Amino acid sequence: MKRDYYDHATKEKLTRKEEFIESLTHDSYIIQVRRLRKKHRNKLETLLSIFDQSNTSKESKHFLDVLESSFPDEFKVIIRRLHKASASKELCEDMEMEDEILEELATQERLIAYERAEKEKAEAEKRKAEEGKEKAEAEKSRLEKLLKQAGIEF
């Protein structure tokens, strides 16, 4: 499916295509928060800038340092709700547990990939050895045949 891409703020049609977007089966709004400009062009960009990952807190990658005073009043209720959530000890513990689980899964994934690569390498070496053995046997048969044709007993 061919898709047209538009800048939401300017309605300008964009010409560059993205493999990910082209592979979607439905029309979508794709927001690249990291690409938001510092000067926001509309309310949507202002709202989304609250979640800009470049504002990650120095204490924890799970939290953003968002200055409520940098946003219009209509967004302050959202920022306050996010601050409340971040103050929850239970939420913080859950995020730490999720980090540990994700790290363990990543470790397992790396281990599986390593083991798979080692297995493929061993199989390739085994095939190569078998091919070498087959070639040696074929050469031996060829030489025996030549010797027999020459009348030489062995």
The ranges assigned to domains in the chain are: 5-87, 89-154
What does the DSSP 8-state code read for residue 23? Answer: T
The three-class DSSP label of residue 56 is strand
pTM for the structure as a whole:
0.46
Average pLDDT, the chain: 85
Over 70: is that where the pLDDT of 154 sits? no
* Range of weakest confidence among 34-38, 81-85, 122-126, 138-142: 34-38
Q: Give the tens place of pLDDT for each residue, 34-61.
A: 777 677 888 888 888 888 877 787 777 7
- What confidence tier does 130 reach under pLDDT thresholds 50, 70, 90? very high
For residue 111, report the phi and psi dihedrals to the nearest 5 degrees: -65, -45
Residues whose CB falls within 8 Å of the CB of residue 95, separated by 6 or more in sequence, listed in order: 62
85 pLDDT higher than 80: no
**CA-based radius of gyration for the chain:** 31
pLDDT at 1 over 70: no
